[in-house]
Amino acid sequence: MDNSNWKIPNTKIDIVKLKGFAGVYSYNLKGKPLYIGKSNLVKARLLSHLENSLVDRKEALYVNTADEIELFQTDSELNALLYESKLIQIHRPKYNVRWMDDKSYLYIKITIKEEYPKIFAVRQERDRKALYFGPFASQDVVDTILSSLRKVFPFCTQKKISKHACFHSKIGLCNPCPNIIKSTEEKRRYRKNIRNVVKVLSGNSDVLENQISKLIKEETKTQNYELAMKHRNVLNHLKHIYSHRLFETHENHSFNRSEIMISGLKDILSQYFPKLISLERIECYDVSNLSQQNSTASMVVFTDGQMNKSEYRKFKIGKSNPKGDFEMLKEAVERRLKNKWPLPNLMVIDGGKPQIRTMLRLQALSSTLKEIPIIGIAKNPDRLIIGIKDLPTVRLKLNNLALNLLQQMRDEAHRFAKKYHTVLRNKAFITPESSNRPDDQVN
């Protein structure tokens, strides 16, 4: 792993001077890491930390304490991910404690001491004889890394050796299969595959790539073209593992696509909101008021352009008197502001100018809300209503990625509000008296 490494003072002036790059960053105090993170766009992430520290006490603990920021530029997203995990394991920073204590985080385990080492995804480091890589925050990331590596360097995932070839050996993912290895050459080849996996996960892919390139040259000189072609395929697969397009979520949005969406939206909005630095957290609101009873509102959250369902919130509105959409929206936002949830970089409202006027009146009365940019997304045709004086309208082409992101947020907020409305309506049908009970629950 070829990393460029340097340090800068922990000031906004120095952060703004940075160029865009993928890598790892460390908030240090007297040379000791307080918090380590990674990002495809380190500059944007650091600016986001700086902004969030004004309202988030947890982030303020390390952002306001650190005297320098150490930066490690990597040549790929995967290397940033692996290097972040490695540094956290080495330094165990005070404010990364959630990585080490949360059982939901994953490790890649290699039973290196066994005759035929196996590779698994596990949640805790318990076996001292095994080699571990991690922690990783996402099952998707671990699955993607292992499945990609397995296509290049086949390995076994069975916990026990049996007498028959496993299914994966028939499709080339466990080759040679430890269940049927007979010769010393097969054993040597299998163990070499494991060593190569370790090299990649250790960040030594450049060494491995050089070795394979040398083999290709030697085999070409001796006219062993078939073997040279096999090694060239391995080299190409290995390089593909380090491409950004490798990492995609099950929602079919690559991290790169989300970044483009966020970047495009930021470019549009910064014309109207000059202080807008980051769009790491966006909240979108919708109300469901189909029958003037069991009215609900929803708040959905997108983090770095991706749905963050653990942050979604639902509101039961108007316990006694029916309310109009504007009053419902006002109540939902007021209740949201009373909670100590992280503040958004942007609020999106499902609605046009009337809804945004309501929000601006509320904004004038709230010192907290005054600092948050607000926009609406109106329908027929879809267009943006900017929450500033004169309420300018922005019309974007239907294939504009920024508009597509806002449409996705609006549709998700509508789905979530309608779902909760249906739950309450069914509950009231079964037990009518329940609809009159006080309910201030927000979850």
pLDDT tens for 85-112 read: 788 878 888 887 654 544 556 788 999 8
Structure tokens given for 262: 């966020």
Structure tokens given for 201: 């996960």
Q: With bands split at pLDDT 50, 70 and 90, how would you rate the model's confidence at 247?
A: very low
Q: With bands split at pLDDT 50, 70 and 90, how would you rate the model's confidence at 208?
A: confident
Residue 388 has pLDDT above 60, yes or no: yes
Q: At what angle do helices 184-201 and 139-152 cross, to 10 degrees?
A: 140
Residue 131's H or E segment, with its range, is strand 131-136
Compute CA distances 163 → 92, 160, 166, 177, 318, whole Å: 43, 10, 9, 10, 67
Residue 10 has pLDDT above 90, yes or no: yes
- Which stretch of 2-16, 159-173, 213-227, 247-261 has the lowest confidence by average pLDDT? 247-261
- Kindly report the CA angle at 166 between 161 and 168, in degrees rounded to 5? 130
Residue 409 has pLDDT above 90, yes or no: yes
- pLDDT at 355 (0 to 100): 94
Residues near 221 by beta carbon (within 8 Å), at least 6 away in sequence = none
Q: Are 69 and 10 in contact (CB under 8 A)?
A: yes
Q: 171 — phi, psi (to 5°)?
A: -115, 15
- Listed by start position, the domains of the chain span 1-98, 102-202, 204-247, 255-436
Where residue 252 falls (left for φ over 0; alpha for ψ -120 to 50; beta otherwise) is left
Q: Which DSSP letter does residue 123 get?
A: S
Q: Are 52 and 280 in contact (CB under 8 A)?
A: yes
- Rounded mean pLDDT of 54-81? 87
Type of residue at 139:
Q
How many Å apart are CA 179 and CA 161, to the nearest integer? 6
Residues near 375 by beta carbon (within 8 Å), at least 6 away in sequence = 269, 346, 347, 348, 349, 356, 384, 385, 386, 387, 406
Residue 413 has pLDDT above 80, yes or no: yes
- Rounded mean pLDDT of 403-408? 90
Between residues 14 and 231, which one has the greater pLDDT?
A: 14
Q: Are 402 and 396 in contact (CB under 8 A)?
A: yes
Closest by CA to 297, choosing from 309, 285, 307, 308, is 285
Q: 329 burial class (0-12, 13-18, 19+ CB within 10 angstroms)?
A: buried
Type of residue at 58:
K
CB atoms within 10 A of CB 140: 13
Q: With bands split at pLDDT 50, 70 and 90, how would you rate the model's confidence at 318?
A: low
How many Å apart are CA 33 and CA 36, to the nearest integer? 7
How many Å apart are CA 371 and CA 305, to the nearest integer? 21
Between residues 248 and 169, which one has the greater pLDDT?
A: 169
CA count, 13 A, side-chain hemisphere, 315: 25
Residue 158 has pLDDT above 70, yes or no: yes
- Kindly report the CA angle at 379 between 373 and 385, in degrees rounded to 5? 25
What residues pair up with 313 in beta bridges, in sequence order? Answer: 299
Where residue 368 falls (left for φ over 0; alpha for ψ -120 to 50; beta otherwise) is alpha
How many Å apart are CA 9 and CA 414, to the nearest integer? 44
Q: With bands split at pLDDT 50, 70 and 90, how would you rate the model's confidence at 300?
A: very high
Looking at domain 255-436, its CATH architecture is 2-Layer Sandwich (3.30)
Average pLDDT, the chain: 81
Superfamily of domain 1-98: GIY-YIG endonuclease (3.40.1440.10)
CB atoms within 10 A of CB 380: 6
Write out 179-216 in H/E/C secondary structure. CCCCCHHHHHHHHHHHHHHHHHHCCCHHHHHHHHHHHH
- pLDDT at 427 (0 to 100): 64
What are the tens digits of pLDDT across the range 11-32? 999 999 998 888 999 999 999 9
Q: Are 126 and 111 in contact (CB under 8 A)?
A: no
- Rounded mean pLDDT of 408-425? 80
How many Å apart are CA 60 and CA 53, to the nearest integer? 4
CA count, 13 A, side-chain hemisphere, 142: 20
